[in-house]
Amino acid sequence: MTPDVDVQTLRLLVSVAERGSLGAAARELGMTQPAASARVRAFEARWRVSVLERSPRGSRLTEDGEAVVSWARTLLHELETVRSSLLALGEERRTGVAVAASLTIADLILPRWLAELRARRPQVSPRLHVVNSDTVAAMVRDGDVDLGFIESARTPPDLAARVVGHDSLALVVAPGHPWARRRTPLTLEELQAATYVVREPGSGTRSTFEAALRRQPDVVLEASSTSALLGAAAAGVGPAVVSRRAVAGDVERGRLAVVPTELDLRRPLTAIWDRRRRLRDAAADLVLIAAEASREA
């Protein structure tokens, strides 16, 4: 097999061209002049070319040497580009973490987790994508993010997962709605007969409600925003199903009322990642922080 080109000797020859002498080039690269001379002789013998003319007045590049230096400059520039890119990539892998989270988690829970991650790892710069649970899983599969958080009762079987907490949904209506004064839980049959203001398909809230209702709900309004759902419910468009965390303030102010039901509307909060890829340190820390916060709650 043909040996690779000696990059250090190429650096030496480029330095000779820039400094005007082998001695000056050797000093720039931290070599002794005898060592530099030996390198050049070995290079010439290996490639059967003469690159330097030596004389009592010093050394200068031959015509072949000038050609080698021209090629070397191009190669060394590309090597520097690769080196810089690798350093930048390594720094990004060390300090960056891309996270996708479903709406409820991103709005109401994840900010506290990210604040704790920042306290533990000040050098980390997270990037957050707020999408529904199905899209979170797709982004994890595609490698667009390192880590995802979903609030769906169904965990994608092809992804690694860890439950880091729990949440529950609430059925809410405007104060003037007939259900607002309900004291006994609504039955499954009553709930199946109603129409709702709900999140879009693919959201964890929607899938949890559908599983509890045992069918797809009749929808009067579909929205991808929790604030839009709450606004529609408060305006009397219809009952809405949202996280209890998200509606607590509106219930306290009397803008909405929680309706008791027979449904089990609890759901896990789950961290998901690609089992084929090792979690970055920052992402692994974020999973631990989320689990710790749940135990302390």
**pLDDT digit string (tens) for 68-85?**
999 999 888 888 878 766
Q: Identify whether residues 158 and 272 lie together within a single domain.
A: yes
**What does the pLDDT read at residue 76?**
87
Q: Which residues pair with 258 in a beta bridge?
A: 172
CA angle centred on 215, ends 211 and 221, rounded to 5° = 95
CATH number at residue 56: 1.10.10.10
Q: Would you say residue 112 lies in a domain?
A: yes
Q: How confident is the model at residue 1 (pLDDT cuts 50, 70, 90)?
A: very low
Same domain, 221 and 86: no
Contact assessment for residue 98 and residue 146, using Cβ atoms and an 8 Å cutoff = yes
In order of 52, 247, 251, the CA distances from 254 in angstroms are: 90, 11, 5
Q: In the predicted model, what is the mean pLDDT of the chain? A: 89
State the Cα–Cα distance between residues 171 and 186, nearest whole angstrom. Answer: 10
Position 3 confidence tier, pLDDT thresholds 50, 70, 90: low
Give the model's confidence band at 92: pLDDT under 50 very low, under 70 low, under 90 confident, else very high: very low
Amino acid 182 reads R
Q: Which contacts (CB < 8 Å, 24+ apart) does range 173-176 have? A: 173/233, 173/238, 173/239, 173/240, 173/256, 173/257, 173/259, 174/233, 174/234, 174/235, 174/236, 174/256, 174/257, 175/254, 175/255, 175/256, 175/257, 176/236
Element (H, E) at 165: strand 160-173
pTM, two decimal places: 0.65
Percent of the chain residues topping a pLDDT of 70: 94
Instruction: Report the half-sphere exposure of 243 (CA within 13 A, side-chain side).
Output: 23
With respect to residue 113, please indicate whether it lies within any of the assigned structural domains.
yes
Pair 196, 288 in one domain: no
Pairing of strands 195-199, 218-223: parallel
Q: Rounded to whole angstroms, what are the CA distances from 210 to 153, 160, 174?
A: 10, 24, 22
User: For the chain, how many residues are written?
Assistant: 297
Domain of residue 254: give its range.
Answer: 166-267
The verdict on 89 and 234 lying in the same domain is: no
Q: Tell me the HSE value of 61 on the side-chain side, using a 13 A CA sphere.
A: 19
Q: Is residue 1 situated within a structural domain?
A: no
Tokens of 98: 């891309």
Do 263 and 184 reside in the same domain of the chain? yes
- What residues have CB less than 8 Å from 172, skipping those under 6 apart? 230, 233, 239, 240, 241, 242, 247, 250, 251, 256, 257, 258, 259
Give CA 210 to chain center in angstroms. Answer: 29
How many structural domains does the chain have? 3
In a domain, 86, yes or no: yes
Q: Is residue 2 part of a domain?
A: no
Residue with tokens 């892998």: 93
Q: Render pLDDT for 160-201 as a digit per residue (tens, 0 to 9).
A: 999 999 999 999 999 999 999 999 999 999 999 999 999 999
Whole-angstrom distance, CA of residue 290 vs CA of residue 271 = 9
**What SS3 class is residue 191?**
helix
Burial class (CB in 10 A: 0-12, 13-18, 19+), 22: buried
Give the whole-angstrom CA distance, residue 286 versus residue 118: 10
Here the CATH number for the domain that contains residue 252 is: 3.40.190.290
Average pLDDT rounded to a whole number, residues 212-218:
94
| More confident call, 86 vs 118 | 118
